[in-house]
């Protein structure tokens, strides 16, 4: 069975924009509006982050957003409600990204089952590499959703093959050596890695981390990316207009539109 994420890549005929938002940032209500705004401005897949108190893979922009969301009382229940309400009106794929402990505390099977029931199409766990991925992959299979796995420029060819064999949906290519957040330039080594990943897998390869401008999106597409993931660049717009929900929506929409235009 092809997943909604798989269909999005195969059916679009162009690279896709994965737009990332933090669930509950700055509030549950505004968060749902931002998901809808991102979709209407050209996001092909929504990546919704379930915040964690100790996000070791994330830079300052995402850290602050997660703190805001946790401060607003965000729990996995909030996340599933957001997905359910978004799904009620939309067929756009939703990917959930979080950290292992959030999933483990709910019970891995329960978390995946609840996510799938709410209408999520895939889950990525930032700190569950190949060595720890099995229980998560199993739960994803049983729940009928995709397990998105990460590859990076430090991943050996041997690991690439093993990761590609376990992943579904797409491969998330960590495009920088470092944490999430804007970078001035694309690391030139990413181009080589992209090719290496595509050589071992038929799954779409989608870089994320450090991609935040239309120029960087184009550069990744030229290098052969099947899509791009933009996180901090979008989430920063939330931070800019915190006390003004309409302003937040407009700012997020404008950023998504800018990035999406580079893919059309």
Partner 1 sequence: MTDPSRFGVYGGQFVPETLMAALEELEHAFRTIVPKEEFQEEMRYYLHEYAGRKTPLTFCRNVSRDFGCRVYLKREDLLHSGAHKLNNALGQALLARFMGKRRLIAETGAGQHGVATAIAGAVLGMQVVVYMGDEDIERQALNVVRMKMLGAQVTPVSSGSRTLKDAINEALRDWVANVETTHYLIGSVVGPHPFPTMVRDFQTVIGTETREQVLEKEGRLPDAIVACVGGGSNAIGIFTPFLDEKTRLYGAEAGGEGPGGRHGATLCRGRPGVLHGAYSYLIQDAFGQILESHSISAGLDYPGVGPEHSFLRDCGRVSYYQVTDREALDAFFYLSRSEGIIPALESAHAVSLAERVASGLAKDDILVINLSGRGDKDVAQVAALAGDTL
Q: Is the peptide bond before 26 cis (omega within 30 degrees of 0)?
A: yes
Helix (H, G, I), strand (E, B) or coil at 48: strand
Quote the tokens at residue 38.
């991102």
Min dist CB 37 to partner 1, Å, is 27
Nearer to partner 1, 209 or 252 (CB): 209
Q: Catalytic pick from 47, 114, 121, 226? A: 47
Nearer to partner 1, 52 or 249 (CB): 52
- Is residue 95 a contact partner of residue 18, using CB atoms and an 8 Å limit? yes
Quote the tokens at residue 22.
């933090």
Min dist CB 115 to partner 1, Å, is 14
- Is residue 66 a contact partner of residue 52, using CB atoms and an 8 Å limit? yes
Nearer to partner 1, 88 or 158 (CB): 158
Nearer to partner 1, 10 or 101 (CB): 101
Nearer to partner 1, 36 or 52 (CB): 52
Q: Catalytic pick from 37, 39, 44, 58? A: 58
DSSP category for residue 186: -
226 is catalytic: no
- Is residue 258 a contact partner of residue 244, using CB atoms and an 8 Å limit? no
Residues at the interface with partner 1 (CB under 8 A) = 52-57, 59-60, 63, 70, 75-76, 99-106, 126-132, 149-156, 159, 163, 174, 176-179
Quote the tokens at residue 207.
């870089």
Cα three-residue angle 152-41-239, rounded to 5 degrees: 70
Min dist CB 264 to partner 1, Å, is 30
Cα three-residue angle 106-45-230, rounded to 5 degrees: 90
Radius of gyration for the alpha carbons in the chain, expressed in angstroms and rounded: 17
Min dist CB 35 to partner 1, Å, is 21
Kind plus residue range of the DSSP H or E element containing 123: strand 122-125
58 is catalytic: yes
Burial class from Cβ neighbours inside 10 Å (0-12, 13-18, 19+) for residue 154 reads exposed
Min dist CB 244 to partner 1, Å, is 26
Q: Which residues are catalytic?
A: 47, 58
């Amino acid at each position: 069975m092809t997943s909604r994420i798989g269909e999005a890549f195969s059916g679009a005929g162009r690279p896709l924009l994965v737009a990332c938002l933090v669930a509950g940032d700055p509030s549950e209500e505004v968060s749902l509006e931002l998901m809808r705004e991102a979709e209407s401005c050209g996001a092909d897949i929504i990546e919704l982050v379930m915040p964690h108190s100790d996000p070791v893979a994330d830079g300052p922009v995402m850290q602050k957003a997660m703190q805001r969301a946790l401060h607003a009382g965000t729990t996995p229940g909030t996340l599933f409600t957001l997905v359910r309400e978004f799904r009620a009106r939309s067929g756009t794929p939703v990917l959930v990204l979080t950290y292992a402990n959030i999933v483990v505390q709910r019970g891995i099977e329960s978390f995946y089952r609840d996510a799938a029931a709410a209408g999520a199409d895939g889950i990525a766990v930032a700190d569950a590499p190949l060595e720890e991925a099995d229980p998560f992959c199993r739960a994803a299979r049983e729940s009928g959703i995709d397990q998105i796995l990460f590859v990076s420029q430090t991943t050996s060819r041997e690991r690439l093959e093993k990761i590609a064999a376990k992943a579904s949906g797409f491969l998330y290519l960590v495009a920088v050596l470092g944490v999430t957040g804007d970078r001035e330039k694309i690391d030139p080594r990413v181009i080589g890695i992209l090719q290496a990943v595509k050589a071992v897998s038929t799954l779409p390869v989608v870089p994320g981390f450090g991609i935040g401008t239309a120029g960087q999106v184009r550069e990744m597409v030229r290098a052969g990316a099947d899509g791009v993931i933009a996180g901090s660049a979008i989430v920063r717009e939330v931070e800019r207009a915190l006390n003004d929900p309409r302003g937040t929506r407009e700012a997020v929409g404008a950023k998504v539109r800018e990035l999406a235009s580079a893919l059309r």
